[in-house]
Amino acid sequence: MLEQVCRIEEAVQASGIENLDLLLCAEKPQNPSELLGSERMVRLVDALKAHYEVILIDSPVVISIPDAVILAARCEAVILVHRPGAADRDMVRHARKKLDDVKANILGLVMNNVDASAGRYQYAEYLYDGYGTEPREKRRREKTGRG
């Protein structure tokens, strides 16, 4: 869509899921960062905003290539996605700094591939309570009636 001239209706595809359409990248362009930072990209997003209430853009890893940072600078908001084990805390901090440098509006962090049923997960040298769980000591006190 950025490299070729066509109407949005011709480029957007139905996903098969209600209220979810897709605009896919057919091939990796020769100059992705240049295209994402172009006025043509601004016009594309403006045109999509006229058709859609919410636009989600999936980008490459923030610290690997500049594409994600270029997009973040132009988006209304950013949600970081992190998979523990794939990147350490310093890499996440570095990604956050790169986004802060372009004044990205970071809404939060989604942790991917975390076993929520385990109740706790290991992240570097720190141990965190899992989502929706109570600290182990509190559960033990409630179970034994001491407290």
Query: Please, which residues bridge with residue 81 across strands?
Result: 110
Q: Please report, rounded to a whole number, the percentage of residues in the chain having pLDDT higher than 90.
A: 27
- Residue 120 vs residues 2, 84, 115, 116, 128: alpha-carbon distances, Å: 44, 12, 8, 7, 6
- Alpha carbons within 13 A on the beta-carbon side of 95: 24
pLDDT, one tens digit per residue, over 56-75 is: 988 888 888 899 999 999 89
For residues 35 and 67, the answer to whether their CB atoms sit within 8 Å is: no
Q: Name the pLDDT band for 105 (thresholds 50, 70, 90).
A: very high
d(CA 57, CA 23): 9
**pLDDT beyond 50 at 106:** yes
Q: Is the pTM of this model over 0.95?
A: no
**DSSP H or E run through 32:** helix 32-36
Q: Which amino acid is at 45?
A: V
pLDDT given at position 5: 65
Query: Mean pLDDT over all residues of the chain?
Result: 79
d(CA 57, CA 69): 12
